[in-house]
Homo-oligomer: A and B are copies of this chain.
Amino acid sequence: METIHNIILNHNQLVMANLTTRLEDYSKWYNELVVKAGLAETSAVRGCMVIKPYGFSIWEKMRDELDKQFKATGHQNAYFPLFIPKSFFEKEAKHVEGFAKEAAVVTHYRLKAKPDGSGLMVDPEAKLEEELIVRPTSETIIWNTYKNWIQSYRDLPLLINQWANVVRWEMRTRLFLRTAEFLWQEGHTAHETKEDAIQEAELMLDIYKNFAENFLAIPVHTGVKSEGERFAGADETYAIEALMQDGKALQAGTSHFLGQNFAKAFDVKYLDRNGRQEYVWATSWGVSTRLMGALVMSHSDDKGLVLPPKLAPIHVVIVPIFRKPEQLEIIKEKVNPIIEGLQAKGLVVKFDEDSKQSPGWKFAEYELKGVPVRLAIGQRDIENNSVEVVRRDTLEKKIYSQDNIVEDIAKLLDDIQQNIFDKALKFREENTRKVETWDEFKDVIENKGGFVLAHWDGTKETEERIQEETRATIRVIPTDAPEEEGKCVFSGKPSMRRVLFAKSY
């Protein structure tokens, strides 16, 4: 028997044994893990990924939770066209500058057989009068639509979100973190006043922050971007920034105060409460499948994924330890009420009784997949009224009594959610350093990584010079940082506040 299994499972076993460690090569570890854990893989189309079922089920959980929070704050979903006429892009000068260089362009609408019958060619007679851009973001097509939806203050605020795919022709792509096509949500709102729009942008940032911390278990810094890092067409870009295990920062979500830029570009005015025609104020905000990358990079280890229970597709896996079918039956009888109890708490439980896989293979498999809790139960446990429980985050093994197992597991899952967050927070705190001198700055960025809190003179020039010399950028100008007099770490000029630097994805 064993031999046959080894042959059949050979492929999978090799795959599992081979996960590169984070220390060996963090980047390689990440790529291997994403593929081997069944999250995503590269496709035949340059830069586009296939999101595999296990990965997609995690994304669905993220989407459903965010969607619930958007709706609870008064937003509605809608759907706008995939294509954007080229001329729309030209209307907002900064916006087009930001996206023209990575635009996938549809130029024709028909294929035809080659004259020699050797295949297909683009039909030159089916050339579009105006080229269409596959949306990299939808401000332009949406604001062109809002023009007809907004007449008076009674139509405001307009609070709309869209779940969609977008395309940005990136040259260097990585699964989830940077792909030519990705999935995201993009909120686009219109308001009567500047204050209303800023409040909305801040509200959505807050929703992103809470989601990142309470669901992804990733602590994030919030703040505004410097001018150079702003969204193309925004007056202010708010962001949440997370720290990955390799000491690099990752921008996990952005919320933009767009001022009246798009209202002016698309001539969207409204009759205000005083009977005057005014331009509308706007925001847009989005998170994407990039969050999947953040999730993997924040918590996972050399054995595989570590998933926070709130986003895990399977919460508990139960592995019966048996040799004979009769033993399995006895185990099942004991286990069924446990499964039902866990399910009654809304938990997803997998009972893996596959006799063709060894328990050891299963343990490794579910560790790779990041299932938060694993129970093993065998003959001896039946006799002792016990269950072996292993939590994925620490890999700690404990023997539990069967008596109160459902409550105990539910509590353990809460502990795991909290512990994953605490661990990430501790890591971030250990890797956030205040520095005062330029030598110190370079040393930390180069040799230690992580966030650096340093004074900056507020100029674009200094920001660029710092980036040239160290590749570190200003991740955010923290909104909650206290005023503090100091000197710019690079130029020595006076500064009133520290900003957050890091190398980033």
B102 touches A110 (CB 8 A): yes
> Which stretch (A17-25, A47-55, A359-367, A396-404) binds chain B?
A47-55
Instruction: With CB as the reference atom, state the residue of chain B lying closest to A132.
Output: B45
Q: Mark A157-191, 1 if CB is under 8 A from B, else 0.
A: 00010001101010000000000010100000000
CB distance from A49 to the nearest CB of B (A): 7
A82 within 8 A of B: yes
Q: Mark A77-112, 1 if CB is under 8 A from B, else 0.
A: 111111111111110000010001111111111111
- B-side contacts of A45, CB under 8 Å: 81, 83-85, 132, 141
- Please provide the chain A residues from 42 to 66 with a CB less than 8 Å away from any CB of chain B in the complex: 43-45, 48-53, 56-57, 60
A380 within 8 A of B: no
- Please provide the chain A residues from 11 to 52 with a CB less than 8 Å away from any CB of chain B in the complex: 11, 43-45, 48-52
- B-side contacts of A110, CB under 8 Å: 100-103, 105, 169
Partner of A56, one of B48, B76, B107: B76
The complex places the Cα of A109 from the Cα of B76 at a distance, in Å, of 32
B105 touches A78 (CB 8 A): no
The complex places the Cα of A321 from the Cα of B112 at a distance, in Å, of 64
B141 touches A44 (CB 8 A): yes
- B-side contacts of A181, CB under 8 Å: 81-83
A134 within 8 A of B: yes
Given A49-B81, A82-B165, A89-B120: A103 and B111 within 8 A (CB)? Answer: yes
CB distance from A486 to the nearest CB of B (A): 41
Partner of A60, one of B43, B77, B85, B145: B77
A8 within 8 A of B: yes
Interface residues on A, range: 35 or more
B101 touches A77 (CB 8 A): no
Instruction: With CB as the reference atom, state the residue of chain B lying closest to A159.
Output: B53
- B-side contacts of A183, CB under 8 Å: 79
The complex places the Cα of A132 from the Cα of B108 at a distance, in Å, of 11
CB distance from A314 to the nearest CB of B (A): 12
B154 touches A8 (CB 8 A): yes
- B-side contacts of A101, CB under 8 Å: 110-112
Partner of A134, one of B76, B119, B134: B134
- B-side contacts of A103, CB under 8 Å: 109-111
A119 touches B84 (CB 8 A): no
- B-side contacts of A80, CB under 8 Å: 43, 50
Instruction: With CB as the reference atom, state the residue of chain B lying closest to A119.
Output: B90
- Please provide the chain A residues from 105 to 129 with a CB less than 8 Å away from any CB of chain B in the complex: 105-113, 119-120, 122
Partner of A43, one of B44, B133, B145: B145
B81 touches A57 (CB 8 A): no
Instruction: With CB as the reference atom, state the residue of chain B lying closest to A171.
Output: B109
Instruction: With CB as the reference atom, state the residue of chain B lying closest to A167.
Output: B82
A436 within 8 A of B: no
A193 within 8 A of B: no
B107 touches A105 (CB 8 A): yes
CB distance from A90 to the nearest CB of B (A): 5
A169 touches B44 (CB 8 A): no
Most buried by B among A57, A89, A108: A108
A470 within 8 A of B: no
Given A44-B144, A154-B8: A82 and B120 within 8 A (CB)? Answer: no
Given A111-B86, A154-B8: A79 and B100 within 8 A (CB)? Answer: no
Most buried by B among A80, A83, A102: A83
The complex places the Cα of A77 from the Cα of B76 at a distance, in Å, of 24
B106 touches A160 (CB 8 A): no
Partner of A107, one of B52, B112, B122: B122
A69 within 8 A of B: no
A109 touches B169 (CB 8 A): yes
- B-side contacts of A109, CB under 8 Å: 102-105, 169
A53 touches B100 (CB 8 A): no
The complex places the Cα of A102 from the Cα of B111 at a distance, in Å, of 8
CB distance from A250 to the nearest CB of B (A): 21
Given A105-B111, A109-B105: A131 and B141 within 8 A (CB)? Answer: no
Q: Which residues of A contact B (CB under 8 A)?
A: 8, 11, 43-45, 48-53, 56-57, 60, 76-90, 96, 100-113, 119-120, 122, 131-134, 141, 144-145, 151-152, 154, 160, 164-165, 167, 169, 181, 183
By Cβ-Cβ distance, the 8 closest A-B pairs, closest first, are A48-B81, A53-B76, A51-B79, A100-B111, A109-B169, A105-B108, A45-B81, A107-B107
- Some 23 contacts from A to B, beta carbons below 8 A apart, are A8-B152, A43-B145, A44-B81, A44-B145, A45-B83, A45-B84, A48-B81, A48-B82, A52-B78, A53-B76, A60-B77, A82-B167, A83-B181, A86-B120, A96-B111, A96-B120, A101-B111, A102-B109, A105-B107, A107-B107, A107-B108, A109-B169, A110-B169
